Amino acid sequence: MALLVLLNGPPASGKSTIAERLVATRPLALRLDIDVVRGLLGDWLQRPTDAGLAARALAISMARTHLAAGHDVFVPQFLGRPEFIDELAALAFETGATFVEIALVLDRESARSALAERTADPQNDTHRDAAALVEQSGGTSAVDEMFDRYEALLDQRAGARRVEVERGDIDATVRAVEVVLSIAASRSAPPERARPSHFSISHAPTDYRCPFCLNIRDGTSDLPLEFIHRDDDVVVKMNPKWWPNNPGSVLVIPTEHHENIFDVPDRLALPIHRAARNAAVAMKVAFGCDAVSTRQHNEPAGNQTVWHFHLHVFPRWENDDLYGTKHAPADETELRDLARQLRAAWPAATAT
């Protein structure tokens, strides 16, 4: 998983140099210095706000392309407001990258002296640009204002990983950043057990003699057995237990043995749904019931008692109190009669 790393920090905290060091050990990682991009724009110092916005938009496009190709992107940039940080986080989400927000922390006095040194002896165009911009925006007071904004921002950025800048020891700061990155990378690739591709849980005893499999395979049952419908994927049978005010309920059961919702494969979802809907239609036609409800239970605490997935379909009547009543064995004669009615009303064409 690619990393999108924001290296935020006050002026002269060493962001660009740290980013340079980080990409040096990562083939094809991109050091996306937005100030460098801004410096590519014609006469940008005359329109610094527009140029800054244009540079950020260009940077987002570059980062998107590179992250989509699976490469890491490092953005060394002073940001005193959260909007662009949120934009970077959204980009990481969009591209499936891991976003790491690092906030370099440096005391104001150290930053001032570092900035003064850099202004007196700029090492590159970006340093010269930054010095010109600071001068243009009001010199020292502009730097103080950036610091104030940065400190206020950090108070709101709970997710930012703070790294203390070791003045004069860039190696130590880089090592501290590497630790943060290695933790972020390990979190972004959780072990298999943390995110199972298939969750499965069983409560059936090891020697379970599945009554539904016996019904389906052998046609045998200890209780009255009436099938309403049968195809390759599912059977629909009368529930031999009835709720007193809701006689004629049925069970939709996949013909394959799967214990519960965690195990039923997706390919059976449509056949199960289709059978449930056809049962609902048959109930409306045969019984003239007021409504239809379905129920499906998983695990003992969920009232599952037969360890083979099944979906209940109930005919409902006004004020039938289905959820307040208890089931009891069905009357066999009535069960067989209602089964005949449902079979006769079963929809002929399979709706899709």
CA distance 311 to 135: 74
The 3-state DSSP class for residue 228 equals strand
Q: Which of residues 226-265 bind Zn ion (CB under 5 A)?
A: 257
Nearer of residues 48 and 211 to Zn ion, judged by Cβ? 211
Q: Tokens in use for 8?
A: 């935020």
Q: Which is nearer to Zn ion, 160 or 210 (CB)?
A: 210
Q: Which parts of 204-223 interact with Zn ion (CB under 5 A)?
A: 210, 212-213
Report CA dihedral (67, 70, 71, 77) to the nearest 10 degrees: 20
312 in contact with Zn ion (CB under 5 A):
no
Task: Quote the least distance from Cβ 255 to Zn ion, whole Å.
Answer: 9
Stretch that binds Zn ion, among 9-17, 28-36, 41-49, 300-308 (CB under 5 A): 300-308
Cβ atoms of 163 and 103 closer than 8 Å = yes
Which residue number, 161 or 257, has a Cβ lying nearer to Zn ion?
Answer: 257
Q: What is the CA radius of gyration of the chain?
A: 34
Q: Does position 309 bind Zn ion by CB under 5 A?
A: no
| CA distances to 303, 315, 325, 351 from 298, in Å | 7, 22, 20, 28
Strands 234-238 and 227-230: antiparallel
In the bound complex, what is the minimum distance in angstroms from residue 221's beta carbon to Zn ion?
13
Assess 36 for contact with Zn ion (CB under 5 A): no
Q: Does 116 bind Zn ion (CB under 5 A)?
A: no
State the nearest-atom distance from the C-beta of 240 to Zn ion, in Å.
16
Contact between residue 127 and residue 15 where contact means Cβ atoms under 8 Å apart: no
Among 38, 308, 310, 312, binds Zn ion (CB under 5 A): 308
Considering the complex, what minimum distance in angstroms separates the CB of residue 211 from Zn ion?
A: 8
Nearer to Zn ion, 56 or 310 (CB): 310
Residues 6+ apart with CB under 8 A from 28: 71
Neighbours of 51 (CB within 10 A): 19
Query: What does the binding site for Zn ion look like in residue numbers (CB under 5 A)?
Result: 210, 212-213, 257, 308
